[in-house]
Amino acid sequence: MPTRRLTGILVFCAVVLSAATVHADHEGSSGSGLSSLLPNLFGKGGILLAPPPSGFSHAAHFTAASEAQLNVINDSLRGQLSNIPLPSPASGFTFSFDPALGAFTRSTDSFGPIYSQRANTTGRGKFTVGASYSRFTFDTLDDKDLSNGELQVTFVHEPTGAQVGQPPFFFERDNITAKIYANIVSDVFVLSGTYGILDNLDLSIAVPIIHTEIRLRGVATINKIGTGPVNPSIHAFSNGSDTLAVRANDESTGFGDIVLRAKWNFLNTDPILFAAGLDLRLPSGSVDDLRGVGTPVVSPVFIASTRPLAGFSPHVNIGFHFSADREKQDHELFYAVGFDWAVFKPLTFVFDILGRRIIDNQRLAAGQEPGGTKLSGNDILDASVGFKVNVWKNVLGVVNVLLPLNSSGLRDKATPLFALEASF
């Protein structure tokens, strides 16, 4: 039976990986899809205004610096949406062989953490499958509210005078402020499987399927700082006014980046357990549709936990995300500190502090004035609070919520997760 299970798992992984690879190759990196919505919201390359009245030959254009600001915001969206946290594929049930009984028995009453890991392994020949759903409704980007226009960019006039060897013209003092209203939702389904190769060695796979919808509204206003006192009609939108409202929306569904995991429990004493883990994140998600980082990421991790003491078991994880291409994904230190507590036999309460620290962060904070150099925060910190319930035999139900503890990056005020898990 273990051999048949393993064969089935390998076939399943091969099919999933093949499908994801074909999907990623098909979508490629054409610069289209969700990633093009924001940079082109006000027109490709910036804003080109309506021709001025006759008698004044001036092509009104507000481009380069503002386009860079939009790209900063878009890079923030890309980096966060393609790297949203996934629940751990590790099994909530762990087993060990009891020679006296000649059978496998539960090795702990606690069902373990949700987004982090404990050092316990599933047990030789044991197979766990799981499915989870989480919904991210993002509220802020670098502490800028996405719903009320707090996120904005300033379009500055191109230096027309300098192009012809003249000092700045009066109309170059005009600028355009554009407020951006964004509704960004990601529904994340994760299919996972874990197999106990040895008593102390697990192999896992997590396959995310992500649906992301982005709805944008932009309201741009011409500030006639230079032309107002002279000739207010020089700069105007195509509708003849000083204000322009634009909209854009799109959605996409497909594979995210698949995660393969190995976990080795190398020290199993009473009450301390140590394990080493290694994750490989495959670039199977579309970069253009903000579902993947576009490069492999290798993540070694050290895991420490204890056997439950009065049902209470703390755990610590610390590791690194090493990216093959730092232009696409930063190196990161990540960690988790928390506990799982078997409140009573069918119910485990789980709490974790989850942290990521970007190494050598160079990402500019979103929503700055042209030429702004403030960097986004280095740390992304969340709290994870949830329950695991033994609903039937070796089947677990999971309910969890992620809560942000700081404002760096793209954040959701509360992210719910629901999951089912079964062990065989």
**CA dihedral of residues 284, 289, 290, 294 (deg, nearest 10):** 40
Q: Letter for the amino acid at 276?
A: A
Q: Give the percent of the chain with pLDDT over 70.
A: 88
What is the pTM assigned to this prediction?
0.89
Cβ proximity of 123 and 95 under 8 Å: yes
- Amino acid identity at 362: Q
Taking 50 as the threshold, does the pLDDT of residue 374 lie above it? yes
Each residue's pLDDT tens digit, 7-53 = 455 445 544 554 444 444 334 344 578 988 888 888 776 677 877 76
Q: Residue 4: which pLDDT band, with cuts at 50, 70 and 90?
A: low
Which of 15-19, 257-261, 406-410 has the highest mean predicted lDDT (pLDDT)? 257-261
Nearest-angstrom CA–CA distance, 18 and 237: 49
User: Is 184:219 a contact under the CB 8 Å cutoff?
Assistant: no
Measured CA distances, 179 to 64, 185, 369 (Å) = 18, 20, 12
Tell me the range of 62-71, 104-113, 319-328 where mean pLDDT is highest: 319-328
Question: Where does 224-283 show beta strands of DSSP type E?
Answer: 243-255, 259-268, 272-281
Domains and CATH numbers, the chain: 2-423 (2.40.160.40)
Q: Encode pLDDT of 287-304 as tens digits.
A: 999 999 999 999 999 999
Contact criterion met (CB below 8 Å) for 358 and 329: no
